[in-house]
């Protein structure tokens, strides 16, 4: 979840009764709390999930993942994805939690990149450019599967 997308996200995370963790650590987590990426465990009918979908769908606030991994396992995995490097070794933040990034990035990946990004994740679910649809990306062996699902 990308707290930088709205001033309401961080207070909602703090007030929610759902397990959550900032993906930044230490001083960076403190200094960037209002705009940091968060991992939030969601279940159907959670008030936080309902708020997120009602207030945030179509506003690129989160990429969703399906996984049987624990929150701590996902935290460890996704922390390894926060920084990427170009050919010259320059570092960049990788905004994998932004649906606009993931729906563009995932289809360009080779098998090794998919394996690295997916780790313990079974599938990524993100808004389509058309908010009346979602994109479901799953990894079946060596091949990325992309399914566009209508919400209407």
What is the tens place of the pLDDT at every residue in 55-104? 999 999 999 999 999 999 999 999 999 999 999 999 999 999 999 999 99
**Please, what sign has the CA dihedral across residues 10, 14, 18, 20?**
positive
Q: Using one digit for the tens of pLDDT, what is the confidence trace for 115-152?
A: 999 999 999 999 999 999 999 999 877 789 999 999 98
Residues 6+ apart with CB under 8 A from 107: 144, 146
Q: Which residues pair with 93 in a beta bridge?
A: 83
Alpha helices for the chain (secondary structure H): 9-15, 26-31, 47-56, 71-79, 99-105, 111-118
- The total of other beta-carbon atoms located within 10 Å of residue 105's CB is 16
Query: Are the C-beta atoms of 68 and 46 separated by less than 8 Å?
Result: no
Query: Are the C-beta atoms of 62 and 48 separated by less than 8 Å?
Result: no
pTM of the model: 0.91
């Amino acid at each position: 979840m990308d707290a930088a997308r709205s001033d309401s996200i961080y207070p909602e995370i703090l007030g929610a009764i759902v397990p959550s963790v900032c993906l930044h650590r230490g001083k960076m987590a403190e200094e960037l709390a209002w705009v940091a990426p968060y991992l939030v465990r969601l279940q159907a009918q959670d008030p936080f999930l309902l708020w997120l979908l009602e207030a945030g769908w179509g506003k690129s606030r989160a990429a969703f993942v399906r996984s049987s991994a624990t929150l701590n396992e996902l935290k460890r995995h996704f922390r390894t994805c926060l920084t990427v490097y170009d050919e010259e070794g320059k570092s960049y933040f990788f905004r994998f939690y932004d649906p606009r990034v993931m729906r563009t990035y995932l289809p360009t990946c080779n098998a090794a990149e998919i394996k690295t990004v997916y780790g313990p994740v079974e599938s990524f679910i993100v808004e389509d450019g058309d908010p009346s649809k979602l994109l479901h990306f799953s990894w079946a062996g060596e091949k990325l599967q992309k399914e566009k699902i209508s919400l209407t």
